Amino acid sequence: GIMMQSRKLNQDIIAAAKSRDDITLVRLVESWWSEFDAVNAATAFRSLLMLHHSSNKRSEVLRILEKEISERHMPAFGARQCANTLHALAKAKRSHSASILLMQLLLERVAELVHDLNPQDISNIMWAFATLELEAEPLKELVSLLAAQALSVHRDFNPQSISNTLWAFATLGFRPSKALLVGLTEQTVAVQGDFKAQE
């Protein structure tokens, strides 16, 4: 049924992206976007943003997907879809103005889903905010919500998430609560064997 089709589409999108098969990926999205559910749309959007070669076809398909996500899929976006989409937008250095509506909707959705966010989601979202050099002031409230959620899940943070989150707080000029800093410091000690040199 529909669930099976959605899963199969996602596998095909991921396989094309992994094998860096740009043409197949673009063609797949072009043929199937109208059948996508929220997970397919998020996966396809992220995969297209990560392509190394820009083309008119890719830009066109990205525009269609962005519109679809903004107008149709956002209410079904879960925490992971929001975090991964923001992370991909930042990684692709997609300017805020290019995706202003999508960005606005993602920020609103993150605020709604903040209690579902795990450490990796928080880390990816915070990293995206800092990398995209978003204005800190309008984000203050949302960053406070993210910090509160980080505190409630701090025992699940891994080294990469800790370093990305702390870097993002510093870059945004946001001072986390003492409780969160203590919590992340304790977690750093608990997982210190897992830290790699570059972190």
Residue pLDDT tens, the chain, 199 long: 888 899 999 999 999 999 988 899 999 999 999 999 999 999 999 999 988 777 889 989 999 999 999 999 999 999 999 999 999 999 988 765 568 889 999 999 999 999 999 999 999 999 999 998 888 788 999 999 999 999 999 999 999 999 999 999 999 999 999 999 999 999 999 988 766 655 5
Q: Angle at which helices 136-152 and 178-190 pack, to 10 degrees?
A: 50
Distance from C-alpha of 59 to C-alpha of 93, rounded to nearest angstrom: 14
126 near 146, Cβ under 8 Å? yes
In this predicted structure, what is the pLDDT of residue 26? Answer: 94
In this predicted structure, what is the pLDDT of residue 21? Answer: 85
Distance from C-alpha of 32 to C-alpha of 34, rounded to nearest angstrom: 6
- SS3 assignment, position 150: helix
- SS3 assignment, position 54: coil
- Residue 72 per-residue DSSP state: I
In this predicted structure, what is the pLDDT of residue 20? Answer: 84
Greatest pairwise CA separation for the chain in angstroms = 51
Strands (E), the chain: none
Ramachandran angles phi, psi of 195, nearest 5°: -65, 135
Distance from C-alpha of 98 to C-alpha of 103, rounded to nearest angstrom: 9
State pTM to two decimals: 0.90
Helix/strand/coil percentages in the chain, nearest 5: 80, 0, 20
Tell me how crowded residue 71 is: count the other CB atoms within 10 A of its CB.
10
- SS3 assignment, position 177: coil
